[in-house]
Structure 1
Amino acid sequence: MLNIGQRFVRWCLAVVLLATWFPAAAMAQEKPAVSLDQAIRIVKDNFAIPGEYTNFSSGFSSGLGADRDRQVWSLNWEAPAEPGAGFHAQVDAVTGEIRSISHWKPGKPGQPVPRVPAVSQEQAQKIAGEFLNRLAAKHIQELQPVPPQDQVIPLGNYGPVSYHFRWQRLVNGIPFPTDGVNMEISGEDGRLVSYNLEWTGADFPAARGTIPLEKAREAFDGAGMLELQYFQPFRRYPPEAGKKPEILLVYRLNHPSGGVIDAFTGRPLVPEDGRYLVEKSIPGGGGGEESFMRMNGGQPAVSVPLTPAEQQEIERTAKLITRDQAVEAVKKWVQVPDNLTLQGANLATDWQNPDTRIWNLNWSDEKDSDNQPRHMSARVDAFTGELVGFDLYYPGTDGKTGTMDRPAAQKIAEEFLKKIQPERFQSVKRDESRSAQPFMPGEKGKNPPFQYFNYWRLVNGIPFPGNGFNIRVDTVQGRVVGYNLNWSDRQFPSATGVLNAKQAGESFLKYRPLTLSYTRMYGPDGPGDIRLVYQPLATGWGVPTIDMVDARSGAGLDWEGKPVSQNPRAYQFNDIAGHFAEREISLLGRAGIFGEYGDAFHPDENITTISLLRAMLMVKFGAQGFSGLSDEEVLKRVREQGWLTESTQPGAPVDRLTLAKLLIRFLGLDRAARVEGIYQVPYADAGSLPAGSLGYAALTWGLGVIRGDGQAFVPDHQVTRAEAAAALVRTLEVKP
């Protein structure tokens, strides 16, 4: 999820682009219906622009193609004394509607970030509804609120809390998912942080004569939308030494239609070449590389014994080829242009495949020769000397029309692969999905300057998209200019006992049911016709849009290979009404914390050590990635944070003194708590507190985190889940 700062940066980039599109000639040719003066007044009639935002600028953009009637004013107010602070708006120059706003107020250096929102989700929803009625009044009848299911509200120190709301457009009672209103409300002060209205002015086909859902489902099953594949999950952290990443068997959505069925013909809707349907992006990620080097100062110090891991690494690296051998391995297959000279070489390891070592080589043109390649990079396996990839760029290719069509380019690509990888080429299949050829704007009917081809590895006859070849062919130069090999040594699970395609389809459609909806076709000439289709859509706002299911269990999986049911979600506990800690428990539930019992909390049950420690990690770092940690991993993480120094068992109860120690360490005040002779507490049992505990009792009392039973501290009192939740939230309210 993008944070506010990231969204602001993207919005500003869009504003800059709009400003660069300000064509004086176009403005002179056709005067917009809404003038700049009117646009400014429209915004100021609806929003109070802070007085310190004294720098003002504007831009104007005019649509092209099917969107040529769209004209937009961009208005920007900024504060010269506060870099980054600004109020930005876009006003439709035809209708006078506010299309978007963004109000960003960066925190001052050293200023603490509020961690407990002052505005509740219910209050924010009411504010959002008021803005909707004011800014999108003419569209209210066609807008349907999308329930904010599982919207996790983080409490960590990453930035101010904000709430997100969405309303989806209905046309003829049928959803058009790309149109609607998105809104973001600050949990700090109820400010409208961002607002975006997407509204398409086009003709929508009537829903008469559409096939029933059952027929669409038959078409979905019959088209083979889901393909049995091997899948290597993305990992946030590198695997442990000597441990290879796990390979899963999944059914994955892989069809040129993207799972979309034409609602009239009952056939998969496959876009023509150069055209595409708007889709939601699916979060994912890729591996990274960590460079390493060894230096020897030439002055050996006292001999230090080497660990087995260090000795093993030395033995492994002794087998690596040299830089010059790596260069020769590249030149064996690729002609390095004469004007390029080698500028850099380094050894690296893929963090998701720690057993590999790669030589990264870079050539460049020091003279910037005209009409000559400027840069080339290559990658060579440092153990085997195998060329695993290269990229070569010719100036002037972009924007030109290719001299060959896709079949001719494919022939060049496959001739190269047969030459460089004759055996492995026998074990791949060409990816024919829409993602195989990225959309490239250009004139319809003309060859693009580049053609891209993906070849997936086959294992036991099953595709493994994580392995294979990627090829880029320059259709102007008529040669391969990009190549990448990914072929790893892995253990692949057997395909016995997996679901059949129909069963996999049933599981998949539980997460993304086929929904009668409108979508729009796009192409080189811009937006095209609105189509009525059945398409697999997520069930609500904030619900993960899965792309695959486990081939045996049918569970929906995310890109880490984890069941989406294990992903953090917000909890609305059903057993805390009227409880003294209702506010604090509710806040933690909406942050995705304390979900051991689902939507029940069990407030009067004694809390266990592991439940409290897990909650502390999730408060500090966010729920993502911590809800599924094993007990052992939780204990390891909290010890690394310095919160836990005593030995304990995961299921052990927590007494009040232990709670005080944990929360004081959580606040970073442990050193202060251990100072002797400076603390007093108003507890009747102060004189009998265990040695070394007075500082913890005093600080938690003084900060308002723990107040005992009102009379005594009672250090061995068994803490309930509600008491722990209330104390944990109070630590977030401590003023630094």
Structure 2
Amino acid sequence: MKRLFSLLLSAALLTSTALPAASAADAADTTLTRLTQSVKQTLELDTEDYSSFRGDYAEQELATVWYLYWDGEDSSLSVSALEDGTIVDYSLDADQAVTAPGQSMPAFPQGDPEQAKAAAQAFLERVLDPTVESVVLEAPSGLDSLNGTSYRFSGTILIHGLPSPLSYSITVRAEDNVVTRFWRDVPETSFLGDIPASNADVSQKQAAEQLQSTLSMRLEYILPEGADTAVLCYLPNPVHNFYVDAKTGKLVDLTELQQDMYLFGGENSAAGDAAAPESGLSEAEQAGIQQMEGVRSSQTLDEGLRAVPEYGLKNYELVRSTFSVGEEEEDGQVPVTCLLQYSYSAGDRVSTRTFTVDARTGEVQGIYSYLPWEEGDKAALTSAQAQSRAESFLQSYYGGQWSHLALYETSGQTVEPLDDSEDGPSYVFQFARQENGYFFPEQYYTVGIDAKDGSVCSLSYQYDPSVSFDSPEGVLSDSEALQAWMDTYEVTLGYLLVPQPLDGSDPVEQRLEQMGYTSYYNLKLGYTLERETLYRGIDAKTGEPVSYAWQEEPEGLTYSDLEGHWAQSYAQRLAQYGVGYGGGSFQPDKPLTQWELVCLLYSLQSTPLNPDEADEEIRNAAYSAAYSMGVLTREERNDTAVLTRSQLVQYLLDGAGYGSVAQLEGIFTCAYPDRDSIPADGLGYAALAQGLGLVSGPYAGTRSATRGEAAAMLCRLMER
């Protein structure tokens, strides 16, 4: 059968990898024959060992894509391609050899990134159109985690050397540099029309001036991570995405064009009560009872809520109350909250209102409502009336904060509904803290007003009176800040997907119109604002870009006490993969305890721990991981025991799956200078440690091990 299939393919006698589009008269088997031969020639495939083959296709919105599948005893292969032979997707699945003897101890990834890069480049040269497309391979990912087996390259396909919206990904197996995965975006399924020429009639400077005109900023307070004084920062207002057409110089609102692509719009809405946390008493009954001291009954809490007419509970019935004990806070207090759920039925309509309150004081922490709203319903009050009620509520019950609040609206953020003619179940207003004439929106009160009865139907807030505020003296001007923000961007010339109106002039456009599209993507040459680094805003006094707190956190593990130490390279090699100790110090000469070894091994599969700060729950979790690895048994647990070098070797080899071999008697020998001091029941472990390179020089099995020695032995073991 395979021989017959090969002869059938060879009969096509194709001389190039590109195929003409199949004509309407082509039978599916004829097209499949030609396409399969083209794919084999392009990818230089040897398919003789596959025992089965099939092909099918899908007529997508813009083009037809064929899917080819080969299956064999040891591997399978799938390729997606257009009718002209362009490769869209490639996937090779082959059986992998299993590393012996065990898999519980991970290994460092193996491979040569330069060889993998060369393999990826060679593959791309076969599947890209060299007259139009190119790729600049960046540094690969994939081997930055333990047990990694492949390199992955991904990025943008350049068109005529310029950035484009087309992406690609290619995966290379590390052990033999074979490409196992590839996918790409292709013009035929991404946009209508042809690829424009790459020459621009508009200069970068002209484009920059127009793009800068789309930017605006607002001056507000922000609170840096870990600080207690808020500082002023220019923050960008939300804006649409714009580009400047490189041919006409026209400034185009890309976001607006994308919003208008579809004839049929839709809005998804959902409402439901937040899940209430389970409450209950701990095993220590006395401690549990003490936690509930001072908690008010649900009846008392309900009476307090009904005493506030603004909550509109006159017609509502309390249907459920759930008490929940929280985590102990820094001051030693254990918070208890109560979730009170109310319901009101009017015919077949059911409204709900849920309050979260402090169960000891009755202070309302949040309100949520579900208000049914049907077509034809009308609001009983205007947006202005609703805002007045929200303000009166805050002034009456949060007077101390109200004097520091103001209605918060920025560009792109307005009160809903947008005007009085747009009815809805509620009006929502956000009031942000304002100091020295500037907003501090991280602290706020958000109030919802029921559009039918004017009651307060939602409430959330965040307010900390202890925060102080930096003086506004010496801040940059608006224009200076805007220029500093503009300087964080690069004005980049490239290809863009831009929606263009459909006119139904061909079957493809007619099909798109039937699917609800009023416009569809074409490829345009244009300038856009691009940047590699994400910034929050511009410091109002220095003019420097402000990063987010998470960007300033150091990546990976770092230590302050390894410089010049013999174990430095081992500890840092492990740290590259998140293996080691938290806390910033390694203490390489410290005698190693059993608990410290368990912490080190725990980091192989979870977050690194600081051995001096882990609580009992974390300790138990770490030890459970060590048990599952086979490092030690529950009976052997002794957190404070200082390990000898021989114990360290045994734990590591047991965890790596060598224990059963090491315990065989009479088959091992070793060449340590202190070989005669090694007991018979430890000779197997000592010999394996020498053979695997864990230990060199004297074995010194009875000497206390150190943290540095643990790092060195683990590192050497993971190099296998």
TM over 0.5: yes
Secondary structure at 1:519's aligned position in 2? strand
Q: Which one of the candidate residues 379, 390, 399 is aligned to 2:369?
A: 390
Secondary structure at 2:185's aligned position in 1? strand
1:700-719 alignment runs, 5 A limit: 701=689, 704=692, 706-709=694-697, 712-713=699-700
Secondary structure at 1:532's aligned position in 2? strand
**Residue 230 of structure 1 aligns with which residue?**
222
**Residue 181 of structure 2 aligns with which residue?**
193
Secondary structure at 1:730's aligned position in 2? helix
Cα distance, 1:129 vs structure 2 = 1.6
Q: Does 1:430 align with 2:409?
A: yes
2 CA distance for matches of 1:33 and 1:470?
66
**Residue 731 of structure 1 aligns with which residue?**
717
1:444-459 alignment runs, 5 A limit: 455=430, 457-459=432-434
Q: Is the 8 A contact 2:168 2:183 kept in 1?
A: yes
1 CA distance for matches of 2:312 and 2:95?
50
**Residue 184 of structure 1 aligns with which residue?**
171
Amino acid at match of 1:256: V
Say if 1:454 and 1:372 are closer, same or farther in 2 by CA, change over 3 A: same
2 CA distance for matches of 1:587 and 1:48?
40
Cα distance, 1:90 vs structure 2 = 4.1
Q: Which one of the candidate residues 153, 158, 165 is aligned to 1:165?
A: 153
Q: Does 1:359 align with 2:339?
A: yes
Cα distance, 1:256 vs structure 2 = 0.6
**Residue 527 of structure 2 aligns with which residue?**
533
Q: Does 1:519 align with 2:508?
A: no
1:289-300 alignment runs, 5 A limit: 292-295=277-280
Cα distance, 1:704 vs structure 2 = 2.0
2 CA distance for matches of 1:33 and 1:547?
57
**Residue 21 of structure 1 aligns with which residue?**
none
1:544-693 alignment runs, 5 A limit: 545-547=534-536, 554=544, 557-558=547-548, 561-563=550-552, 566-568=554-556, 591=577, 616=600, 620-621=604-605, 641=622, 645=639, 657=645, 660=648, 664=652, 667=655, 682-686=671-675
Amino acid at match of 1:684: P
1 CA distance for matches of 2:414 and 2:654?
46
**Residue 97 of structure 1 aligns with which residue?**
86
Q: Does 1:135 align with 2:127?
A: yes
Unaligned runs of 5+ residues in structure 1 are: 1-26, 64-68, 234-242, 279-287, 438-446, 539-543, 597-604, 649-654
Q: Is the 8 A contact 2:389 2:454 kept in 1?
A: no
Q: Is the 8 A contact 1:451 1:472 kept in 2?
A: yes
Q: For residues 586-607 of structure 1, what are the alpha-carbon distances to aligned partners after superposition, in whole Å with 9 as ceiling and x for unaligned?
A: 97686478999xxxxxxxx995
Q: Is the 8 A contact 1:226 1:251 kept in 2?
A: yes
1 CA distance for matches of 2:599 and 2:120?
30
Q: Is the 8 A contact 1:290 1:349 kept in 2?
A: no
TM-score by length of 2: 0.58
Say if 1:386 and 1:344 are closer, same or farther in 2 by CA, change over 3 A: closer
Secondary structure at 2:117's aligned position in 1? helix
Cα distance, 1:165 vs structure 2 = 1.2
Say if 1:275 and 1:197 are closer, same or farther in 2 by CA, change over 3 A: closer
Q: For residues 135-174 of structure 1, what are the alpha-carbon distances to aligned partners after superposition, in whole Å with 9 as ceiling and x for unaligned?
A: 22x157532415238x5734346xx544321242334543
Q: Is the 8 A contact 1:656 1:716 kept in 2?
A: yes
Cα distance, 1:130 vs structure 2 = 2.4
Q: Which one of the candidate residues 469, 472, 484 is aligned to 1:494?
A: 469
Secondary structure at 2:166's aligned position in 1? strand
Cα distance, 1:620 vs structure 2 = 1.5
Q: Which one of the candidate residues 175, 181, 188 is aligned to 2:163?
A: 175
1:366-515 alignment runs, 5 A limit: 378=354, 380-382=356-358, 383-385=362-364, 387-391=366-370, 427-433=406-412, 455=430, 457-460=432-435, 461-464=438-441, 467=444, 469=446, 485-489=460-464, 491-496=466-471, 500=476, 513-515=490-492
Cα distance, 1:133 vs structure 2 = 1.6
Cα distance, 1:181 vs structure 2 = 1.8
Q: For residues 231-271 of structure 1, what are the alpha-carbon distances to aligned partners after superposition, in whole Å with 9 as ceiling and x for unaligned?
A: 697xxxxxxxxx99998876554431468777799998655
Secondary structure at 2:686's aligned position in 1? helix
2 CA distance for matches of 1:633 and 1:467?
35
Q: Does 1:255 align with 2:238?
A: yes
Q: How many residues align?
A: 609
TM-score by length of 1: 0.57
Q: Is the 8 A contact 1:343 1:363 kept in 2?
A: no
Amino acid at match of 2:58: F
Amino acid at match of 2:166: D
**Residue 12 of structure 1 aligns with which residue?**
none
Q: Is the 8 A contact 2:231 2:469 kept in 1?
A: no
Secondary structure at 1:91's aligned position in 2? strand
**Residue 512 of structure 2 aligns with which residue?**
none
1 CA distance for matches of 2:458 and 2:48?
53
Amino acid at match of 2:292: I
Q: Is the 8 A contact 2:110 2:149 kept in 1?
A: no
Cα distance, 1:427 vs structure 2 = 2.5
Q: Does 1:62 align with 2:37?
A: no
2 CA distance for matches of 1:374 and 1:50?
68
2 CA distance for matches of 1:350 and 1:29?
73
Q: CA RMSD in A?
A: 7.2
1 CA distance for matches of 2:230 and 2:661?
49
Say if 1:412 and 1:640 are closer, same or farther in 2 by CA, change over 3 A: same
Cα distance, 1:126 vs structure 2 = 2.3
Q: Which one of the candidate residues 119, 122, 139 is aligned to 1:148?
A: 139
Cα distance, 1:563 vs structure 2 = 0.8
Instruction: State percent identity of aligned pairs.
Output: 12
Amino acid at match of 1:389: Y
Unaligned runs of 5+ residues in structure 2 are: 1-22, 262-272, 417-421, 501-516, 627-637
1 CA distance for matches of 2:232 and 2:146?
35
Amino acid at match of 1:60: A
Q: Is the 8 A contact 1:349 1:358 kept in 2?
A: no
Secondary structure at 2:119's aligned position in 1? helix
**Residue 13 of structure 2 aligns with which residue?**
none
1 CA distance for matches of 2:217 and 2:650?
51
Q: Is the 8 A contact 2:536 2:545 kept in 1?
A: no
Structure with larger Rg: 2
Cα distance, 1:452 vs structure 2 = 11
1 CA distance for matches of 2:463 and 2:117?
50
Q: Is the 8 A contact 1:120 1:187 kept in 2?
A: yes
Q: For residues 72-112 of structure 1, what are the alpha-carbon distances to aligned partners after superposition, in whole Å with 9 as ceiling and x for unaligned?
A: 44567899x99xx986654335x442323456789999994
Amino acid at match of 1:428: L
Cα distance, 1:706 vs structure 2 = 1.1
1 CA distance for matches of 2:469 and 2:680?
58
Q: Is the 8 A contact 1:469 1:484 kept in 2?
A: yes
Cα distance, 1:429 vs structure 2 = 1.7
